[in-house]
């Protein structure tokens, strides 16, 4: 079953509580929370206080995506509220140590690759991952167009995960809509992150149902 993880990056934060209730009713599987520091990516979003508030008002798992420099510095703090905690392969951490630390804290570990990174670079890290996130846009801004190169990466990762006999979810983030979602699923995606496509809809419940039925 394909999982949907709406990204709150493009949400209206003044109505976020009500919107989360609508998403819960629509049957989404988790919430995707993009943490940006203005260094690793050229934008700033929100931090742990917002994530803590969301955690207190929903039973949905929180899929926390750290787009921050040297993420190992903050793993312990974000692990307090995350169910999945992902960080970028390119962010300048000791990736093996960081993935192990996330699991030691009782959180599902995930690593993220940017469009410029080849999937083969993280094959050795797959045994330490519960999920891999493939960016299908450049990280840092919502509303970008899907980059087809992500499809080949998903396919290669799916093959390698099966070769290593692992249980690792494949997530894709960026430009997911009615046209790109089926392509991503066919290429191997298990989790679809959709932000603007869901939160810009007049009827979010209907939009989620449309994705699930594709």
pLDDT tens, position by position, 88-137: 999 977 999 999 999 999 999 999 999 999 999 999 999 999 999 999 99
Superfamily designation of domain 3-213: Aldolase class I (3.20.20.70)
**Residue whose pair of structure tokens reads 């809809």 in the numeric block:** 201
pLDDT tens, position by position, 162-196: 999 999 999 999 999 999 999 999 999 999 999 88
Q: How far apart are alpha carbons 84 and 108 in whole angstroms?
A: 5
Packing angle between helix 16-26 and helix 204-213, nearest 10 degrees? 40
Q: Which residues pair with 113 in a beta bridge?
A: 134
Q: How far apart are alpha carbons 31 and 138 in whole angstroms?
A: 20
Q: Among candidates 56, 50, 59, which has minimal Cα distance to 27? A: 59
pLDDT, position 10 = 83
59 three-class SS: coil
Q: How far apart are alpha carbons 91 and 72 in whole angstroms?
A: 9
pLDDT confidence band for 11 (50 / 70 / 90)? confident
Q: Which residues of 136-168 are buried (b: 16+ CB within 10 A; e: fewer)?
A: bbebbebebebbeebbebbbbbbebbeeeeeeb
Q: Where are the alpha helices (DSSP H) in 113-178?
A: 149-163
pLDDT, position 142 = 67
Q: Which residues pair with 4 in a beta bridge?
A: 192
User: What pTM does this model have?
Assistant: 0.95
Q: How far apart are alpha carbons 38 and 34 in whole angstroms?
A: 12
How far are the Cα atoms of 84, 85, 123 from residue 105, in angstroms, in the given order?
A: 11, 11, 23
Which active-site residues does the annotation give? Answer: 34, 173
pLDDT, position 179 = 95
Average pLDDT taken over every residue of the chain: 94
Question: Are the beta carbons of 202 and 19 closer than 8 angstroms?
Answer: no
């Amino acid at each position: 079953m394909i999982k949907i993880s709406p990204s709150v990056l493009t949400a209206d934060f003044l109505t976020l509580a009500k919107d989360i209730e609508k998403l819960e009713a629509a049957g989404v599987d988790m919430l995707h929370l993009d943490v940006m520091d203005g260094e690793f990516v050229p934008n700033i979003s929100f931090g742990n206080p917002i994530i803590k508030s969301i955690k207190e008002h929903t039973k949905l798992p929180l899929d926390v995506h750290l787009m921050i420099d040297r993420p190992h510095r903050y793993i312990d703090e974000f692990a307090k509220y995350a169910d999945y905690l992902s960080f970028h392969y390119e962010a300048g951490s000791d990736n093996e140590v960081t993935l192990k630390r996330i699991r030691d804290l009782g959180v599902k570990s995930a690593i993220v690759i940017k469009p410029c990174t080849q999937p083969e670079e993280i094959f050795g890290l797959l045994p330490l991952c519960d999920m891999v996130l493939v960016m299908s846009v450049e990280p840092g801004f919502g509303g970008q167009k899907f980059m087809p190169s992500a499809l080949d990466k998903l396919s290669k990762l799916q093959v390698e995960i099966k070769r290593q006999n692992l249980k690792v979810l494949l997530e894709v983030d960026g430009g997911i809509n009615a046209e790109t979602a089926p392509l991503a699923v066919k290429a191997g995606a298990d989790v679809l992150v959709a932000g603007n496509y869901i939160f810009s809809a007049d009827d979010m419940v209907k939009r989620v149902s449309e994705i699930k039925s594709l």
